[in-house]
Amino acid sequence: MLADEPTGNLDTHTGADIIRIFQNLNRERGQTVVYVTHDSFIARHTNRIIKIEDGKIVGDEKVENPIEAGMPRLDDVLAPAHRDEGKAGQVL
């Protein structure tokens, strides 16, 4: 299956549902899913990342511990803790 930017225009919840479906298809049915994405967080949900630049393969990495669908991005987890650290009027 070829998934071109499968979560590109989706909200976080729906995107996680799509990734969960793909992960289940792979685990339970042995279905290969090829993600085309510029989002490294989405890529980390897979077992293997092949990087292509200018039409050439420039990287091939096995992912030892893929991220499970629905896990929050690190930025989303850390952001609330740092929102109130600035001085009044300071843009964070």
Task: Name the nearest CA neighbour of 50 among 64, 62, 66, 32.
Answer: 62
List the structure tokens of 74: 């690190």
**DSSP element (H, E) containing 16:** helix 12-29
- Residue with token string 């992960």: 23
pLDDT at 6: 93
pLDDT means per 10 residues in the chain (92 residues)? 94 92 94 93 92 96 89 64 54 50
Q: How far is 73 from 89, CA to CA, in rounded Å? A: 27
pLDDT at 68: 87
Domain ranges of the chain: 2-82
